[in-house]
């Protein structure tokens, strides 16, 4: 399909956005070293291996006493246990040399310096290298780091991790009728995109710059687009065909080119994707209606960010739907909802201008044709 002023299918639009990111970025993905405690949700830039065995020495998995022999045992503080001796031990601590078993605290009876028990077990000994050995692969390049993985990497000797530098995003909210605080009035509406778009983009892995608010004038929008220093620009509103929709004019003034002039999806079909001819950064035009804007964000921004982070294009999972779902008038329809009892349950209040349905959802069903209850849909989760 030509990429000049064409309306793409939803799937083709995502694939094109993903491929566009490669053309818009430098040859190598920028990388930075970050202290391990600040790496949550960062994307690992290289394969990581264990720098030591885990555990690095034989250790105890329980509080109690390390013992050798059949007992009763004489208590000692020595680092080397002689036969029929015991040494106090805590969970995770290295065992004295010669340890044969562990007596748990609740199973031991102390009489002065003598320990008695009928329950000594070698199963409570964690052997060196039991969990992993030095050089074992723990994390592949492109993995999104999370607390448990960070803990494992720390336990095996990592202090800092090379991660992909987050692509920066400039959000430009356009409109003459927008309020950023307080209650809406007859002439003004409360902005709902300025607060949530940075949060969605952050969850996608981007670094979001302070939001800009611009009035509905193509020259001002163009100036904001062309003077920014971000890797990606996201605008809201102005993507349809009314006299107040200025995305196309603003892109032309900024010496840019519109590559996707609409996507065959509901909601969100007036979304646009352009590129600045100078610095070759992508410019994403989101519709003004809230749900339509979020659909467009997941259609165009998420693939670009994923590619810039060196990750695969996010894909959905096949799951049955609890209710029949209508097909869209165009190629695809994105329906907000959640998975309950291993079935997709569509949300109420899911019109293009609505927020309530998405607020109670965990993802979108991708509907390309009418589906009866029990039929399969593709479910694309929202980023956590």
Average pLDDT, the chain: 92
Q: How far does CA 138 lie from the centroid of its chain?
A: 19
Where a domain ends, among 252, 280, 308? 308
Please check the confidence at residue 246 and state whether its pLDDT lies above 90: no
Return d(Cα 34, Cα 45) in angstroms, integer: 11
Count structural domains, the chain: 4
Give the CA count within 13 Å in the CB-facing half-sphere of 118. Answer: 0
Same domain flag for 138 and 119: no
Please check the confidence at residue 3 and state whether its pLDDT lies above 90: no
Same domain flag for 352 and 205: no
pLDDT digits (tens, 9 = 90+) for 161-195: 999 999 999 999 998 888 889 998 888 889 999 99
> Residues of 283-302 as b/e, b for ≥16 C-beta within 10 angstroms?
bbbbbbbbbbbbbbbbbbbb
Same domain flag for 203 and 91: no
Q: What is the DSSP letter of 122?
A: G
Same domain flag for 136 and 42: yes
CATH value at residue 63: 2.170.190.11
Same domain flag for 26 and 174: yes
pLDDT digits (tens, 9 = 90+) for 266-322: 999 999 999 988 778 999 999 999 999 999 999 999 999 999 998 999 999 999 999
Which residue range is the domain that position 190 belongs to? 6-30+165-308
Average of per-residue pLDDT across 230-239: 92
Q: What are phi and psi of 169, to 5 degrees?
A: -130, 130
Residues linked to residue 171 through DSSP beta bridges, in sequence order: 234
Same domain flag for 97 and 141: no
383 within domain boundaries: no
How confident is the model at residue 1, as a pLDDT? 37
pLDDT digits (tens, 9 = 90+) for 14-33: 999 999 887 765 545 789 99
Same domain flag for 299 and 217: yes
Same domain flag for 41 and 97: no
Same domain flag for 23 and 97: no
Provide the greatest CA pair distance for the chain: 92
DSSP for 291-330 reads: HHHHHHIIIIIHHHHHHHTT-PPP--EEEEBSS-BPPPSS
How confident is the model at residue 5, as a pLDDT? 47
How confident is the model at residue 25, as a pLDDT? 58
Do residues 42 and 170 touch, judged by C-beta distance below 8 A?
A: no
Same domain flag for 154 and 272: no
Residue among 289, 270, 264 at smallest CA distance from 358: 289
Local confidence band at 2 (pLDDT 50, 70, 90 cut-offs): very low
């Amino acid at each position: 399909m030509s990429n000049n002023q064409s309306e793409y299918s939803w799937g083709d639009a995502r694939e094109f956005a993903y491929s566009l990111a490669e053309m818009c970025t430098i040859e190598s993905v920028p990388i930075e070293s970050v202290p391990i405690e600040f790496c949550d949700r960062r994307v690992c830039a290289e394969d990581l291996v264990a720098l030591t065995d885990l555990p690095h020495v034989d250790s105890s998995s329980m509080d109690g006493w390390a013992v050798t022999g059949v007992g009763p045992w004489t208590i000692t503080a020595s680092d080397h246990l002689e036969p029929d001796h015991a040494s106090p031990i805590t969970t995770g601590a290295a065992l004295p040399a010669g340890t044969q078993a562990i007596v748990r605290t609740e199973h031991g009876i102390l009489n002065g310096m003598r320990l008695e028990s009928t329950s000594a077990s070698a199963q409570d000994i964690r052997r060196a290298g039991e969990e992993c050995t030095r050089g074992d692969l723990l994390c592949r390049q492109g993995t999104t780091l999370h607390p448990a993985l960070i803990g494992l990497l720390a336990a095996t000797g990592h202090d800092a991790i090379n991660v992909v530098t987050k692509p920066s995003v400039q959000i430009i909210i356009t409109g003459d009728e927008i309020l950023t605080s307080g209650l809406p009035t007859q002439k003004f509406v409360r902005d709902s995109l300025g607060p949530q778009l940075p949060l969605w983009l952050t969850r996608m892995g981007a670094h979001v710059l302070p939001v800009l608010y611009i009035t509905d004038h193509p020259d001002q929008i163009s100036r904001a687009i062309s003077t920014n220093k971000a890797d990606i620009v996201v605008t809201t509103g102005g993507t349809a065909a009314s006299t107040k929709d200025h995305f196309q004019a603003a892109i032309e003034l900024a010496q840019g080119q519109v590559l996707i002039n609409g996507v065959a999806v509901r909601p969100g079909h007036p979304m646009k994707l352009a590129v600045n001819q100078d610095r070759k950064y992508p410019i994403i035009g989101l519709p003004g209606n809230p749900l339509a804007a979020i659909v467009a964000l997941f259609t165009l921004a998420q693939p670009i960010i994923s590619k810039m982070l060196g990750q695969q294009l996010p894909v959905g999972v096949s799951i049955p739907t609890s209710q029949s779902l209508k097909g869209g008038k165009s190629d695809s329809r994105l329906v907000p909802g959640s998975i309950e009892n291993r079935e997709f349950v569509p949300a109420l209040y899911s019109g293009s201008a609505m927020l309530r349905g998405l607020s109670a959802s965990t993802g979108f069903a991708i509907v390309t044709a009418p589906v009866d209850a029990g039929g399969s849909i593709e479910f694309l989760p929202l980023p956590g």
